Each structure stands twice: as structure tokens, then as C-alpha cells.
Chain A
Amino acid sequence: AQSVAQPEDQVNVAEGNPLTVKCTYSVSGNPYLFWYVQYPNRGLQFLLKYITGDNLVKGSYGFEAEFNKSQTSFHLKKPSALVSDSALYFCAVRDYGGATNKLIFGTGTLLAVQP
């Protein structure tokens, strides 16, 4: 069964510093990986996805993610954090069972950017 793990419940970073939010995956085939962000009392907003191709994926709001097959990781990164980046971040993998393409989410990582 497909799964993702987000080992950190919370990441703290100072504004202007680089940030990394970690995600590891376990899949039976080629992984389709996603990052979403959730602000308080809001739905999820799509940031970026990896399907195939370049291991470095660029997304919205200056975020990027690095796909590493040998380490089965898909970490989210940003060179310079903003206070407005403070939110809950979810990594997800597309499920291969059936034809639904449903997403399987991690438990989320709360990013806190201090001014």
C-alpha cells in the first residue's frame, strides 16, 4: 500500500532563512507526489507535484521540492521564508489501487516562521 510520512510535527524557522519540510514515501511503483498547504479553517491549496522528469520541481509562492529516489524522499524547500508561509503543509501520494487516483496524505507539518 502507498503511504507518505512527515516525520516532523512542527518546523520553526526565522524569516529570511531557508526552510525544509520533510516527506518520505513508500510506493509499489513510480510515485506521483504532491505538496499542499492549508491555512487555518481553509481547504488545501496545491503547491506542486512530481510525476516524472526533473528531480527538482518548482511550484507556487517560491516553493520547490526535490525528489530523491534512492532516499524515497520528496522534501519541500524555499530559499527564504516569509512570515506569511506559516501554515500546515501536507505531503501526499497518488494511490494506485483502482482507477480513482485518490490521494493518501501524511499527517501534516506545521511551519512557523518567526519575524
Chain B
Amino acid sequence: DTGVSQDPRHKITKRGQNVTFRCDPISEHNRLYWYRQTLGQGPEFLTYFQNEAQLEKSRLLSDRFSAERPKGSFSTLEIQRTEQGDSAMYLCATAGPGTDTQYFGPGTRLTVL
């Protein structure tokens, strides 16, 4: 257990529905990342927060995706109008100030039917 938690661990939804995932970081970690991992691939960067500011978004993050980190604590990732291609593992990682090491949560596995 790295100290980073994610909820839910698994989500099955129907195409067109909206889903929201939550990440709770290690308490002193001010930097938070979302990655997406599809079967047979390594994680791919989606977005980055430093405290409450969203500083970078990948081209992978279409307009249907939105992420927030109110008050610089937990973060949420919402996918609107889900598509089958959104099926993946969504990973959250956090890092403290002055370190390059990212610690990952257990992930949320999304299945879109």
C-alpha cells in the first residue's frame, strides 16, 4: 500500500453514461498525476495538478474528460458520455515537493459496455 487511494476500484457502465473517479493522495504530496493504462501498454499521462492548479493536459484528454483538484487535496476525474474506447485502468500518482518519485494508487478499472 503506497498511501494513495482510489475509488472505486472497478466501474462497469453503459456507453453514454457519465462516470467519476476519485483519488486521495498522500497528505503532504502537492503534485498529482492521472494516467491511463490499456491492456498490454504502459501507463500514458493524462493530466497534472500542482496543488489545486491543473498545469498540463494531454492530447489524450478529450473534451469529454475533466479533472479537478479542489483545495489541492483529493482529485476527481470525470468522463462524460463514455465510449467503449474509454475502457482502461485509470491510475492516480502523487509526488511530494522536491522529489521525482511518483507513488501510484491501485487504479480504477473502467469497463464500458
The answer to whether B95 has its CB under 8 Å from any CB of chain A is yes
Given known A-B contacts A43-B2, A43-B107, A105-B42, A100 and B55 have beta carbons under 8 A apart: yes
Find out whether the CB atom of B55 lies under 8 angstroms from the CB atom of A103: no
| Total number of B residues with any Cβ neighbor in A under 8 Å | 28
Find out whether the CB atom of A98 lies under 8 angstroms from the CB atom of B56: yes
Residues of B contacting A49 in the complex (Cβ-Cβ under 8 angstroms): 100-101
Instruction: List the one stretch of B14-22, B43-51, B64-72, B74-82 in contact with chain A.
Output: B43-51
Q: A105 CB to closest chain B CB, in angstroms?
A: 3
Find out whether the CB atom of B40 lies under 8 angstroms from the CB atom of A107: yes
The answer to whether B111 has its CB under 8 Å from any CB of chain A is no
Find out whether the CB atom of A106 lies under 8 angstroms from the CB atom of B106: no
Q: Which of B42, B45, B103, B106 contacts A102 (CB 8 A)?
A: B45
Q: A111 CB to closest chain B CB, in angstroms?
A: 15
The answer to whether B13 has its CB under 8 Å from any CB of chain A is no
The answer to whether A99 has its CB under 8 Å from any CB of chain B is yes
Residues of B contacting A99 in the complex (Cβ-Cβ under 8 angstroms): 50, 55
Map CB proximity to B onto A25-62 as digits: 1 under 8 Å, 0 otherwise: 00000001010100001111110010100000000000
Cα–Cα, bound, A95→B33 (Å): 13
Find out whether the CB atom of B100 lies under 8 angstroms from the CB atom of A101: yes
Cα–Cα, bound, A95→B35 (Å): 14
Q: Which residue of chain B is the closest to A94 with respect to CB atoms? A: B100
The answer to whether B62 has its CB under 8 Å from any CB of chain A is no
The answer to whether A63 has its CB under 8 Å from any CB of chain B is no
Q: B33 CB to closest chain A CB, in angstroms?
A: 6
What residues of chain A have their CB less than 8 Å away from a CB belonging to chain B? Answer: 32, 34, 36, 41-46, 49, 51, 90, 92, 94-95, 98-108
